[in-house]
Chains A and B, each alone.
Chain A
């Protein structure tokens, strides 16, 4: 690992003494800024340098070289104000849905930003991820239109087609001038074929007051599963996704039903992925993982090494894992890690069908491979 990568890792996870030691020899400041930006932890690094870990540790902050301080500070200010603007958007989206009697579930971003991280400016939130029930599809689309959102691509007519599209085709994405982009989902666990229903996610949801509105957000176990899945969906290539897990665990430690998480993980055949997600969050982001959780999620003998090979966790640990298209990573994740053989075959058939047949599917894969590496949207 480069010294610059080690510096970003150390500072973001609050290991101020390690970061201080690294500063005793000159660092490539530009490389540090680029790395922090690529891993979406610049604002967090600034906050830690200013405050240390607050209540979690006695360690205070540290002085940064001026160009680094400036770069991190600007990132913090940007996300602080952008998130304030997001709060306005969230309240309007919730208001538009409520006016039509629709309950939406707002995925990880708002709760992480306002409740889990120590300051709303340190957690970048790029998009609004909104989960709705299928019968509310048309109503939700109309509600979004009333506040200026338009779909990015042609929308499927009915809710069944929309559900299929969201899981086998592409995301249902909406844009509005001056607002954060919005993605419509029908399942919080949006990897692979859609589960027949996801009532447990709705019944365990909690309330989050945001500006003038009160949002429904995932409960502790649903949030944990959602974040673990999300980190793997992006190939663990963005450090911020591991910090999401870390701060979720910090905030929800007392509320988490560990047996409940293990049961949900097993239900989705996610043991190896969840185990490694937690290990990476512990080692790279400084998360405190209950030992009982790791023990109960320990994968079978061969699954661990195969997982580490498939997801190149060595490169992840050096902050060198490439960021790839989520449209590629998500199916790869399902096909490698989730579901039974029969379910995998069914899912693959669904992908081919949604692409218009085998040729369309091949063209789609080629198109995705040929695209350049992308930034992970900070939802």
Chain B
């Protein structure tokens, strides 16, 4: 998996009334994200490492180190599968 995942430029990611939504104009599909997935996706800027993404989420929720590592990996796998990130 990429060390510094990058969100595709043409995707539209928005927070609408507490819903996190991503629209893919290629597949014409809209997906609703949970908060963790949204935090991961918005940090996929091609400059932030997976480790840094994990650390920022753990810090935000006051979790111990490594607590969400598996979740982050699963979310990123899903984003790769959906072609949201490269």
Residue positions of A touching B, CB distance < 8 A: 73-74, 77-78, 80-82, 84-85, 177-179
Residue of A nearest to B22 (CB): A81
Chain B contacts of A178 at CB under 8 A? 10, 25-26
Interface range on chain B (Cβ under 8 Å from partner): 10 to 19
Residue of B nearest to A70 (CB): B32
A179 to B24, CA, bound (A): 10
Chain A contacts of B12 at CB under 8 A? 81, 84-85
A14 to B25, CA, bound (A): 31
Closest beta carbon of chain B to A188's beta carbon, Å: 26
Closest beta carbon of chain A to B17's beta carbon, Å: 9
Between-chain CB contacts (< 8 Å), 7 pairs? A74-B32, A78-B23, A81-B12, A81-B14, A84-B14, A84-B23, A177-B26
Residue of B nearest to A179 (CB): B25
Q: Does B69 contact A (CB under 8 A)?
A: no
Residue of B nearest to A77 (CB): B21
A78 to B25, CA, bound (A): 11
Docked-complex contact B19 and A77, CB < 8 angstroms: yes
Interface residues of A: mostly helix, strand, loop or mixed?
A: helix
Q: Does B30 contact A (CB under 8 A)?
A: yes
Report B72-86 CB contacts with A as 1/0, cut-off 8 Å: 000000000000000
Docked-complex contact A77 and B25, CB < 8 angstroms: no
Chain A contacts of B22 at CB under 8 A? 81
Docked-complex contact A77 and B30, CB < 8 angstroms: yes
A73 to B32, CA, bound (A): 11
Q: Does B1 contact A (CB under 8 A)?
A: no
Within 8 A of A (CB), among B23-58: 23, 25-26, 28, 30, 32
Closest beta carbon of chain B to A43's beta carbon, Å: 11
Closest beta carbon of chain A to B83's beta carbon, Å: 11
A84 to B16, CA, bound (A): 13
Chain B contacts of A177 at CB under 8 A? 26
Docked-complex contact B23 and A82, CB < 8 angstroms: yes
Docked-complex contact A74 and B30, CB < 8 angstroms: yes
A85 to B25, CA, bound (A): 7
Residue of B nearest to A180 (CB): B25
Chain A contacts of B26 at CB under 8 A? 177-178
Docked-complex contact B10 and A78, CB < 8 angstroms: no
Closest beta carbon of chain B to A51's beta carbon, Å: 12
Chain B contacts of A82 at CB under 8 A? 23, 25, 28, 30
Chain A contacts of B30 at CB under 8 A? 74, 77-78, 81-82
A84 to B22, CA, bound (A): 12
Closest beta carbon of chain A to B82's beta carbon, Å: 14
Chain B contacts of A85 at CB under 8 A? 10, 12, 23, 25
A84 to B25, CA, bound (A): 10
Residue of B nearest to A84 (CB): B12
A69 to B21, CA, bound (A): 16
Chain B contacts of A77 at CB under 8 A? 16, 19, 21, 30, 32
